Amino acid sequence: MTKITRRDFIRSTGGVAALGAGLGFPHIALGAARRVVVVGGGVGGCTVAKYLRKLDPNLAVTLIESKTTYTTCFMSNEVLSGERTLESITFGYDGLRRHGVDVVTDTVVGIDPVKKTVATAGGRSFDYDACVVSPGIGFKWDAIDGYDESVSETITHAWNAGPQTKILRRQLQAMRQGGRVIIVAPPNPFKCPPGPYERASQIAMYCKHHNPRAKILILDAKDAFSKQGLYVEGWTKLYGYGSGNSMIEWVGAASGGKVESVDPSTLTVQAEIEEFQGDVVNIIPPQKAGAIAFAADLVDGDWCPVDKRTFESKRHKDIYVLGDASSAAKMPKSAYAANSQAKVAAAAIVARFLGREPGDPTFVNTCYSVVGEDFGISVAAVYTLDAKNNSIEEMPKSGGVSPANASPEIRKREVSYAHSWFKNVINDMME
């Protein structure tokens, strides 16, 4: 069988040219169209649906999503600071429809890998030749005593952007002057590793102008976090971190930061050493793959094992798992990682339909965080496949983080880059 070359693979996964036209592959026009069902309308699901149609316009691609719109988790922390509205990060699926994707509003409740069917809560059944599952995350509700799904409606996690983001925003606005916000950060792995610390930054950004005596306490189940040095630099410069009047305090696991229980009636959290009371409490629970991944028997432990070359499930043939739910270390569980994985999976599915071997994938991740009005930081990396060990490894000297002690001009420029990156990702996945 002829292999897709590395150059052609990178071109296709980068969206430069459609696989059928770019590689001279014939469209699959004989007989019935191949059917791909995509479960989940987030970054991974939208990107793979769009690129499947770009790579072969003859594919019948159906995307099933329970919501009529998609609200991004990335950039949602800016809703808390008031820098943007929830509506500005909410998008419809008409762009995918223009690409020929059949978007169905329903909830997937089961996948039969033998019959190759997807069942929905609405009573419908969809046949597939390949199924792509991008279910996002679920929460381990039993990890913190006193905290469950019902409690999260008032003591929010706001980790799936939407109504809870608005609730948390209103709680911050209503907080008494000089009040305390407690953020409980989860253990690894979890969606958006820099997210809790950007959230603390964005809340501090709001409080600096509207509640300058407020305090933000981060209780962490870890002793280190993504881009920590850069965050500390920003917190020190903008919010007095490390001083007696710091707006932000971080308590890691070694200092007793792991939270064991919460009392919703008093907004009190019990950490390993000390008890803390807040005016606003934001608990981000430990995480696992989304519910349909468990219902469809795609998990091993908390996450879904996959063939890192194609993202095909290691448990069921012809099912592919993308994004946060997949076991894709050393890639983080980020939006841009899901976008990159989706293009790899799309190319692999089209190659399989044509009876050809997929090429060696290259993955990309970029993650921006806005620490203050004019203080942006970022991390970027390129990853490659270690086929022998079925692992994804960062390529040496392929990326890096923002420079320490950079000039104000560079920090301000990174904020602009962050907002441009956001627009580009949305355009790439949905337009």
For residue 109, tell me if it sits in a domain. Answer: yes
pLDDT at 3 over 60: no
pLDDT at 266 over 70: yes
Residues 226 and 314 placed together within one structural domain of the fold: no
Residue 77 confidence (pLDDT):
98
For residue 369, tell me if it sits in a domain. Answer: no
Cβ-contact 137, 190 below 8 angstroms:
yes
Phi, psi at 275, each rounded to 5°: -100, 140
Omega prior to 330 cis, within 30 of 0: yes
Instruction: Report angle CA 413, 415, 418 to the nearest 5 degrees.
Output: 110
Q: Give the β-pairing of 319-321 and 362-372.
A: unpaired
Any idea what the CATH number is for the domain that residue 240 is in? 3.50.50.60
pLDDT in tens, 371-405: 999 999 999 999 999 999 999 999 998 888 999 99
Residues 12 and 127 placed together within one structural domain of the fold: yes
Q: How confident is the model at residue 73 (pLDDT cuts 50, 70, 90)?
A: very high
pLDDT at 327 over 90: yes
**Separation of CA 199 from chain center:** 15
Residues 72 and 89 placed together within one structural domain of the fold: yes
Cβ-contact 73, 160 below 8 angstroms:
yes
Among 286, 316, 331, residue at a domain's last position: 286
Q: How many residues in the chain?
A: 431
Angstrom CA distances, 56 to 8, 29, 33, 360, stand at 15, 10, 10, 20
Q: How confident is the model at residue 31 (pLDDT cuts 50, 70, 90)?
A: low
Residues 212 and 268 placed together within one structural domain of the fold: yes
Mean pLDDT in residue range 37-55:
98
Residues 190 and 208 placed together within one structural domain of the fold: yes
**Residue matched to tokens 């929830």:** 86
Residues 262 and 158 placed together within one structural domain of the fold: yes
Among 258, 286, 314, residue at a domain's last position: 286
Burial 75-96 (b: 16+ CB within 10 A, else e): bbbbbbbebbebeebebebebb
21-30, 242-251, 288-297, 395-404: least confident range: 21-30
Mean pLDDT in residue range 155-183:
98
**CA distance linking residue 75 with residue 71, whole number of Å:** 10
SS3 content of the chain, % helix, strand, coil (to 5): 30, 25, 40
For residue 145, tell me if it sits in a domain. Answer: no
DSSP H or E stretch at residue 295: helix 291-295
pTM: 0.91
Residues 56 and 70 placed together within one structural domain of the fold: yes
For residue 413, tell me if it sits in a domain. Answer: no
Look up the domain containing 190 and give its range: 151-286
For residue 142, tell me if it sits in a domain. Answer: no
For residue 75, tell me if it sits in a domain. Answer: yes
Q: What is the largest CA-CA distance in the chain?
A: 73
Residues 175 and 232 placed together within one structural domain of the fold: yes
pLDDT higher for 86 or 400?
A: 86
Residues 306 and 346 placed together within one structural domain of the fold: yes
> How many distinct structural domains can be found in the chain?
2
For residue 380, tell me if it sits in a domain. Answer: no
Residues 117 and 15 placed together within one structural domain of the fold: yes
Residues 156 and 207 placed together within one structural domain of the fold: yes
For residue 414, tell me if it sits in a domain. Answer: no
User: What phi-psi label fits residue 38: left (phi over 0), alpha (psi between -120 and 50 degrees) or beta?
Assistant: beta
Average pLDDT, the chain: 93
Residues 266 and 299 placed together within one structural domain of the fold: no
Q: Where in 87-145 does DSSP place strands (E)?
A: 90-91, 102-105, 108-112, 117-120, 125-127, 130-133, 137-139
User: What phi-psi label fits residue 372: left (phi over 0), alpha (psi between -120 and 50 degrees) or beta?
Assistant: beta
Cα dihedral 408, 410, 411, 416, rounded to 10, equals 120
**CA distance linking residue 371 with residue 205, whole number of Å:** 8
Joined together, the tokens standing for residue 93 give 């699926």
Task: Collapse the DSSP code of 125 into the 3-class scheme (helix H, G, I; strand E, B; otherwise coil) and give the result.
Answer: strand
